[in-house]
Amino acid sequence: MKPRCSGKLMSAAFMLAAGFGTAQAADIPVGHLATTSGETSRVAEIYGQGLVDAMAYINEHGGIDGDRLAYESVDYGYDALQAVATYADWRERIHPVVVLGWGTADTEALVPFITEDEVVFISGSSSGHLTDPTGRSPHTEVPAPYNFFYGPSYSDACRGLVQWAAEDWRATRGANTSTFLQDLTPPRFVHMGDNHPYPNSPREACADFARDLGFEVLDPIRYALAPGDFRAHCEALRESEADYVFLGNTSDSNVALVRDCAQVGVNAQFMTNIYGWDELAIDDAGEAGNGMVWEVSAGTWNDDVPGMELVRAVSALSDPDGEVYRPVHYMRGVCTAFFMRDAMVAAADMEGGVTGPNIRAAFEQMQDHVPEGLEGVCLPSTWTPEDHRGSTEVVLYQSNYGFGQRAMEEIFSTNIPLRPDWLGW
């Protein structure tokens, strides 16, 4: 089995096959902001391949009530300005009803434009700032009525990690109290990540929750999204005596960090977000990454669940020989595309058909929805006109590497409450 993705995501032939340049009147235009270059490209390309394969599968199996998805994928290089420029081109040329996006900086920058144009934007970014459609939250600077994403927000995922850490601290200290301050020395928590919208997105919300649980929250430690020499950052982490460390960057950067921290003797529990770790990171980090705890919001490649039959059929479109192992981000991309499909199918039955406003309304009518055929792979999701936190179920895995073999197991799950004061945060 090949452990990497196929790398065929953005070929010119695939873009032509998607239908652009020959689009018919009944085609449904979709823009795909992909990232096959830039600091987060390793995980972005896996996620994007899931989107592209799923859209191709949808087209091969009837499309949207017989209408094809005419999708154009553009590598914007994880550059928010380039993403805005690409969208400006699309709004004049192809008039998309949906944009499938990626990063936090670019998604947040595009909120005013897609809101004005009434275009549904489904992002890879799970920034909590995108969850308030009405602007009623005091945390909301710009309402995001046309923004959706699959899975828990970065903030809720981090809250889930902190909740696990609180239970882990009590279990490892032999205490059975509800708060640390009664019997235990408070554990130290630190956020690490680049000074960038993506790692910063959950920082304040997660730190606030950590304080509520009795953690001592330390000053953040910055390290770059691009892999580098992080020994100085690891020295600072070791000197801080932090017990639990949230890594806000993607997996390439995190692998470099945990390797360097192992060399300088850091003794802390690392935790990270949905894009901060995966099967490839386990292999690359080796024993230095043992014990990493991270959020996984969809099924894994070897899961024995009904929905994996459809996932493997989707995967076969770019890997007909079945040789490519698909990391967790691929399933997240597949789930995202099929939620979009279901919203479009519902919109097709509304007056006006498959338009941005109708797709938005279809999303906001979903209740504990799982796309048909993906049972056990995708989380049940609910969006409403007042709240775009589609899921607050946080599932955590822990990784291990030994004797040349990777292992990952589910260790914890929780449902974060839909607190009004956490909306948009």
Residue with tokens 């000053």: 219
pLDDT one-digit tens code per residue, 258-294? 999 999 999 999 999 999 999 999 999 999 999 999 9
**Whole-angstrom Cα distance, residue 106 to residue 83?**
6
**Whole-angstrom Cα distance, residue 259 to residue 240?**
18
Common-topology check for domains 12-152+304-363 and 154-296+393-422: yes
**The pLDDT of residue 266:** 98
Residue 137 sits at φ, ψ, to 5 deg, of -80, 140
Nearest to 14 by CA among 3, 6, 2: 6
* Structural domain spans, the chain: 12-152+304-363, 154-296+393-422
**The pLDDT of residue 185:** 82
**The pLDDT of residue 17:** 36
With 50 as the cut, is the pLDDT of residue 416 above it?
yes
Instruction: Judge contact between 47 and 124, C-beta under 8 A.
Output: yes
Tokens of 17: 């096959």
pLDDT one-digit tens code per residue, 300-328? 999 999 999 999 999 999 999 999 999 99
Length of the chain in terms of residues written? 425
**Whole-angstrom Cα distance, residue 169 to residue 293?**
14
pLDDT one-digit tens code per residue, 329-376? 999 999 999 999 999 999 999 999 999 999 999 999 999 999 999 999
pLDDT one-digit tens code per residue, 115-168? 999 999 999 999 999 999 999 999 999 999 999 999 999 999 999 999 999 999
Strands (E), 24-68: 28-34
Sheet holding 120-122, edge to edge: 69-75, 28-34, 98-100, 120-122, 147-148
Q: What class has domain 12-152+304-363?
A: alpha beta
The CATH homologous superfamily to which domain 154-296+393-422 belongs is Response regulator (3.40.50.2300)
With 80 as the cut, is the pLDDT of residue 404 above it?
yes
Tokens of 301: 């490649």
Q: How many helices (H) and strands (E) does the chain have?
A: 14, 12
Residue with tokens 């199918």: 345
